[in-house]
């Protein structure tokens, strides 16, 4: 059997096997990150019909009212146009290199699905992977076959090429410029908040269960079990959120079941649990574009844990940057 043919057959089969194993072990049909953080319509006939009528088509030509949302939307809308145009322009030259054609078809499908089901955001997210791959493939085809495809070097043809390139690439350039403007404050915010959260848990609660709603640095830097309040790392919570059954009682019972000691959360994500959980302190980071994540709070899930958490936070405070404003409530 041809080696390349075997790879094309076995890799998809392996992915399907992994999906079935994950699904029958209690996972959702879609990965939690896709089901919870995308703009998927409700899984009902009425929900799908309303989505197709009011949202689906407009995503391919309309932009949000917010400036940053509009930049990201326009960039995402140009990618399928760029890919489809590249496919038909260089179609005859891809007969001998069908891998280009296959890659373009995959990228076109991915960009359309992304545009149809993505959640609006002022921060560039997953479309960056599609944009990067698309630019590389289209650039390779352009530099390899452009002289054979483009019309003669006249003023009219140059103007047409210029306007076509500007229409396609200007939103992508604006998106990149807007992203670069956010690199420093966002990187500083990540260092001052999620990374410090991870170091704090590693120092004082490395082997203990902790509830969080910003998985990333904390699980990476620590060993103990984590209860993800947003459901990205917890199937039970993810299913309850998708079914609109996520309640404070469920969160409290899961915390007791998993012997959670403390919770490090953004208050806007937390259900009213003040009667059970004791708020000990908060770290406030006054950065622009940080939105509701500018303050993270520390809770003792049990009354007996409150004094210990308070002492640990006070001991760790001298490791924090002076930019962070610490406030105690206990």
Q: For residue 8, is pLDDT > 60?
A: no
Maximum average pLDDT range among 5-14, 74-83, 135-144: 135-144
Per residue in 260-317, pLDDT (tens digit) is 989 998 876 566 665 678 899 999 987 655 555 678 899 999 888 999 999 999 999 9
Residue 246: per-residue pLDDT: 82
Per residue in 230-271, pLDDT (tens digit) is 888 888 888 888 777 888 888 888 888 888 989 998 876 566
Q: For residue 29, is pLDDT > 70?
A: no
Kindly tell me the burial class for residue 29, based on how many C-beta atoms sit within 10 Å of its own C-beta (0-12, 13-18, 19 or more). Answer: exposed
Residue 310: per-residue pLDDT: 95
Kindly tell me the burial class for residue 287, based on how many C-beta atoms sit within 10 Å of its own C-beta (0-12, 13-18, 19 or more). Answer: middle
Confidence of residue 175 (pLDDT cuts 50, 70, 90): confident
Residue 65: per-residue pLDDT: 46
Comparing 178 with 67, the larger pLDDT belongs to 178
Residue reference for tokens 């917010």: 66
Residue reference for tokens 């007791």: 256
Instruction: Give percent of the chain above pLDDT 90.
Output: 16
Residue 134: per-residue pLDDT: 85
Q: For residue 91, is pLDDT > 90?
A: no
Comparing 70 with 319, the larger pLDDT belongs to 319
Q: How many CB atoms lie within 10 A of CB 43?
A: 11
Residue 66: per-residue pLDDT: 46
Residue 11: per-residue pLDDT: 52
Q: For residue 19, is pLDDT > 60?
A: no
Residue 89: per-residue pLDDT: 82
Q: How many CB atoms lie within 10 A of CB 308?
A: 15
Residue 290: per-residue pLDDT: 54
Residue 10: per-residue pLDDT: 52
Pairing mode of beta strands 210-212, 262-265: parallel
Residue 307: per-residue pLDDT: 93
Three-state DSSP class for 92? Answer: helix
Residue 60: per-residue pLDDT: 66
Residue 150: per-residue pLDDT: 65
Around 117, how many Cα atoms within 13 Å sit in the side-chain half-sphere? 17
Q: Enter the pTM of the model.
A: 0.73
Distance CA 38, CA 4 (A): 34
Report yes or no: 105 and 159 within 8 Å, Cβ to Cβ: no
Per residue in 57-72, pLDDT (tens digit) is 666 666 554 445 555 6
């Amino acid at each position: 059997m041809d080696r390349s043919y075997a790879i094309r057959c076995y890799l998809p089969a392996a992915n399907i096997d992994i999906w079935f194993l994950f699904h029958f072990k209690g996972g959702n049909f879609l990965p939690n990150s896709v089901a919870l953080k995308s703009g998927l319509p409700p899984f009902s006939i009425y929900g799908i019909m309303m989505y197709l009528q009011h949202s689906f088509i407009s995503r391919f030509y309309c932009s949000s009212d917010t400036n940053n949302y509009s930049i990201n939307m326009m960039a995402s809308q140009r990618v399928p146009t760029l890919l489809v145009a590249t496919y038909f322009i260089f179609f005859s030259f891809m007969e001998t290199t069908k891998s280009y054609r296959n890659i373009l078809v995959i990228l076109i499908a991915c960009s359309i699905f992304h545009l149809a089901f993505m959640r609006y955001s002022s921060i560039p997210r997953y479309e960056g992977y599609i944009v990067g791959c698309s630019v590389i493939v289209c650039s390779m085809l352009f530099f390899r076959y452009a002289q054979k495809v483009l019309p003669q070097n006249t003023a009219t043809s140059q103007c047409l090429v210029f306007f076509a390139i500007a229409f396609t690439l200007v939103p992508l350039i604006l998106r990149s410029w807007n992203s670069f403007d956010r690199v420093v404050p966002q990187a500083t915010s990540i260092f001052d908040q999620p990374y410090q959260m991870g170091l704090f848990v590693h120092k004082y609660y490395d082997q203990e269960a902790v509830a969080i709603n910003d998985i990333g640095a904390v699980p990476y830097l620590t060993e103990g079990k984590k209860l993800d309040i947003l459901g990205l790392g917890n199937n039970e919570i993810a299913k309850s959120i998708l079914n609109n059954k996520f309640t404070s009682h469920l969160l409290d019972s899961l915390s007791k079941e998993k012997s959670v000691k403390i919770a490090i959360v953004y208050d806007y994500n937390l259900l009213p649990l003040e009667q059970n959980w004791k708020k000990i302190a908060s770290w406030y980071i006054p950065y622009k574009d940080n939105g509701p994540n500018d303050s993270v709070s520390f809770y003792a899930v049990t009354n007996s844990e409150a004094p210990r958490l308070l002492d640990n936070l006070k001991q760790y405070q001298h490791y924090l940057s002076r930019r962070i404003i610490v406030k105690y409530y206990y």
